Amino acid sequence: MGDKCEKNMHKNVCDLKAMVKAQNKRIDELIRFIKEGSQTDIPQELKSCTCNLNPYLECLNPDILHHLNLDTKTIDFPKVFGDVRFVCLGGSDARMEKFANFIIGEIGLKLSIAVHLRNISADGHRYALFKVGPVLCASHGIGGPSISIVLHELIKLVHHAKCQDPVFFRMGTCGGIGVEPGTLVITSQPLDGQLRPVYEVVVHTQPQLRPALLDQALAKELIALSNPCEDGYDTVLGKTLCANDFYEGQSRLDGAFCGYNPQKKMCFLQQISQMGIVNMEMESTAFAALTNQAGIRAAVICVAIINRMEGDQINSPASVLKDFDQRAQNLIARYMRKVLFKCDEDDIETCQCDDAPGCH
Ligand code: URA
């Protein structure tokens, strides 16, 4: 057996041990909960971790989360969603269903072959929502307005459910600026189309500028979990330009309309590249502003499906795009495993493997 193989097997055994230990611990907690009943931490005793929320929410009985097809009258939010620790968002329903099925195995859960995941919000006909243990997976559609609506409802969901310090992720695709297709980009600072670090919301005809801030420590933790040599692709941290459009808003020459020439386009791309912008997408400012306002830790991880310095049309084969799509999912899964199985000091002690993923 080669060195690399042996090292991988060692890592897998180590991961497995940590997972079994964490699950045993969880079973002990459940047994204790059954024995001691209401004397233990029952979800109702916990407080919501969100801040700055609408004061009128408390007057709503029930609160109807229309687009997610959920309401606080027919659903016991703390009971159904109280254990949620990660909320993952991505553009399409299909991507999020795939991610939900992928994450089952990644966090050590198992579904009977007779069971399949249900889209909880299917009857809302707008967004998809799946729950896999402590992970909620939601689609957000395209652009700021679409992600804003689902975020309002997801933030209310974690508030009503009293979820404890949930972490939100947006995973998606982007246009790279001077980076190879396939590069994973973690956003340090999203900027809007006018290069401002804000999300503009027009209220009563007046523009309000909400700070679009992401958790810097979380971004660094994520980059530390990447491993370019083993992954076979780069993961970089940089600024993201969040446009309101895929075509003119991102200086493409292939939209139905175009009011500039190729020289103007290249000049713009070079200018933003010099400012430290490494990618363009369409949701990061809204995502960062809403999560920041609610006091929720959040990160944006997108894979570049094109280098915009080299063209506008996405012409990679479907199989390549499928492989790219998996990359943000892998990094998020690594982070979740680290949080769920490795952060406990007991678990770290049992893990004799210095170079297990996530142990650094
Ligand atoms: N998403 C975008 O918004 N732009 C791209 O170029 C690719 C994906």
Q: How far is the CA of 293 from the centre of ligand 1 (A)?
A: 26
Residue 183 pLDDT more than 60? Answer: yes
Q: DSSP string covering 116-149, please?
A: ----TTGGGSS--EEEETTEEEEE--SSHHHHHH
Beta-carbon contacts of 3 under 8 Å, excluding residues fewer than 6 positions away, are: none
Residue identifier of the C-alpha nearest atom 6 of ligand 1: 175
Element at 187 (helix H, strand E): strand 184-191
**Tens digits of residue pLDDT in 5-18:** 566 666 666 666 76
What is the percent of the chain with per-residue pLDDT over 90, rounded to a whole number? 82
Contact 16, 357 (CB under 8 A): no
Q: What is the pTM of this model?
A: 0.86
Contact 111, 54 (CB under 8 A): no
CA of 306 to the centre of ligand 1 (A): 8
Q: Give residue 358's pLDDT band: very low, low, confident or very high (50, 70, 90).
A: very low
Cβ(129)–Cβ(136) under 8 Å? yes
* pLDDT at 3 > cutoff 50: yes
d(CA 163, CA 283): 24
Query: Considering only CA atoms, which residue is closest to atom 8 of ligand 1?
Result: 174
pLDDT digits (tens, 9 = 90+) for 139-157: 999 999 999 999 999 999 9
The percent of the chain in helix, strand and coil, each rounded to the nearest 5, is 45, 20, 35
Which residue's alpha carbon is nearest to atom 3 within ligand 1? 281
Angle between helices 284-294 and 144-161 (to 10 degrees): 20
Q: Please report which confidence band the pLDDT of residue 23 belongs to, taking 50, 70 and 90 as the band edges.
A: low
Quick check: CB of 33 below 6 Å from ligand 1?
no
- Mutating to test ligand 1, I would choose from 147, 173, 254 the residue with most ligand atoms within 8 A of its C-beta, which is 173
Our mutation pick for probing the ligand 1 site, out of 246, 247, 310, counting the most ligand atoms within 8 A of Cβ, is 246
Residue 247: CB within 6 Å of ligand 1?
no
Highest mean pLDDT among 1-5, 227-231, 342-346: 227-231
pLDDT tens sequence across 200-223: 999 999 999 999 999 999 999 999
What is the rounded average pLDDT for all residues in the chain?
Answer: 90
- φ and ψ of 186, to 5 deg: -100, 125
Residue 342 binned pLDDT confidence (cut-offs 50, 70, 90): confident
pLDDT at 45 (0 to 100):
80
The number of beta carbons lying within 10 Å of the beta carbon of residue 132 is 22
Distance of CA 268 to the CA centre of its chain: 29
pLDDT (0 to 100) of residue 223? 98
Q: Which residues face 191 on adjacent strands?
A: 241
**39 or 141: whose pLDDT is higher?**
141
Total residues found in the chain within this entry: 360
pLDDT digits (tens, 9 = 90+) for 265-284: 999 999 999 999 999 999 99
Nearest residue to 124 via CA among 167, 163, 157: 157
By most ligand atoms within 8 Å of CB, the mutation choice from 171, 252, 281, 309 for ligand 1 is 281
